[in-house]
Structure 1
């Protein structure tokens, strides 16, 4: 019932009460002043009841709106299912709170994701520079190209971080293009290997060891396979999956990255397989949640953001990422849709 209907009903009820008491007075010879007093009291009681039913929700809405203005987007107005103007207002406030909470969450996630991604190129760049300084490798053109590529990645990530409009809206536009998969993934694995060489491993015996012992294997078929995707976002996916696989691999373990053609034009099916302890079936639905490190994470120093970032980047493409069945270790399967046909 709308507020207008309630107010109209209030007026009609008050008139009926006054008329009824007046008829009673005429038939019982009751003095008019008593009838007037009773009529006023009855009207006030009914008015108080109706007013309370309207002002109580407004008080709650004021409290919730004040909490939202102070940054608490978790508060919601109870009674949004009312079938009147107050119910519509409550539903609107709850919808506004949902939108503000989503925007705030997206902003924080994007900042955390980019900050986390900064570590990989910095680690690889530092590894190359230290090798050059220590005389382990020569500053040849190939080494310099590797460092330049990492610097370019850093520049792109910083640009994303500083783009306030995209940060505030939680949106990162895709810059898709068609590229050959073999040389692309080969470069990603090379960078991952450089970063892994600087990563402390699991403690054993006298101390920590580096992950130079993990062998990275690339399997692409057919050899001339091409894909249509955002190369930078796909780099985030593969780099984080490989990083996660290396982190959980045993000594002298093997990490395999497979790439196959998908069903649609330009689509891609990727798999990353390691020989680690795997992911228990009960935890597979939670591995892509932010800051979830799982029972097998141990003390590897991970932040629990890698797989969440991979899911985020795959989701931007409209693809799918999941934990697949594997006889040994952990198998992560990624499918990207490729070229999307226009609806027109």
Structure 2
């Protein structure tokens, strides 16, 4: 998959370089047309990134260990929350440790936080609340937001590859992010779902084994 990814990225890089040269040479004469083509290249790159992520979520070996969920959430928050987007992530209580592949767990948290920031009404800063509790030997994690929400009719398919909700028009996306999250969680022996959040947006939840538990695949 790494080789395939490189082979696909190479022509995209060539196109992007030539578009930049055209922009430098011709400037405003064809600026609008170039902008359209540049956006198309960026969309293709995002799709390729998601396809590679999907393949990795299916094929990569799980390297599970005891992971600090609090550290992963803090790491993602530091990357995702900026002065420009004015997002805010609040952690409720103490987040327990989990038994997980840290890199893949970070991908799940990053996707949920990134989606929450992206899928907000124009002019509305994202407000997220992350919480987790241990039930038996399982950790139940919740990420609630104040975004546009997911229509009830879309929820049964929202974790399917390439499915996009009816109200997501106008928001960039490939429809693969949540499918990747589901596969990662299921490989850890957990479950994932979504419901309404008290804040009016969505509440995504997933489960993972607590330290020393679980049967990853």
What's the TM-score once normalised by structure 2's chain length? 0.65
5+ residue gaps, structure 1 = 1-106, 116-157, 162-166, 198-211
For residues 257-336 of structure 1, the aligned pairs below 5 Å read 257-265=129-137, 267-327=138-198, 328-336=200-208
Match of 2:94 among 174, 199, 222: 222
Partner Cα separation in structure 2 for residue 331 and residue 214 of structure 1: 20
Indicate conservation of the 8 Å contact 2:129/2:145, yes or no: no
Tell me how many residue pairs correspond in the alignment.
Answer: 163
How far residue 172 of structure 1 moved from its aligned partner, in angstroms, is 2.2
Select the structure that is richer in strand: 2
Following TM superposition, by how much is the alpha carbon of 1:285 offset from its aligned partner in structure 2, in angstroms? 0.5
Does the CA-based 8 Å contact 1:181-1:220 persist in structure 2? Answer: no
Residue equivalent to 2:76: 188
CA distance in structure 1 between the partners assigned to 2:140 and 2:180 by the alignment:
18
Partner SS for 1:285: helix
Report the alpha carbon displacement of residue 263 of structure 1 after superposing the two structures with TM. 1.4
Partner of 1:80: none
| 1:90 equivalent in structure 2 | none
Say which structure, 1 or 2, has more relative contact order (CA 8 Å, 6+ apart): 2
- Counterpart of 1:72? none
Q: Which one has the bigger helix percentage?
A: 1
Q: Does 1:337 align with 2:215?
A: no
| Runs of at least 5 residues in structure 2 that lack an aligned partner in the other structure | 9-48
Alignment of 1:123-138 (within 5 A): none
Question: CA-to-partner distance for each residue in 1:71-105, whole Å, 9 max, x for gaps?
Answer: xxxxxxxxxxxxxxxxxxxxxxxxxxxxxxxxxxx
Question: Once the 2 structures are TM-superposed, how far is the Cα of residue 274 of structure 1 from its aligned partner?
Answer: 1.7
What is the CA distance between 1:243 and its match in structure 2? 1.3
Query: Rg bigger for which structure?
Result: 1
Distance 1:236 1:285 in 2: 22
Deviation of 1:226 after TM superposition, in Å, equals: 1.9
Please give the residue correspondences for 1:4-83 in structure 2 after superposition, counting only pairs within 5 Å: none
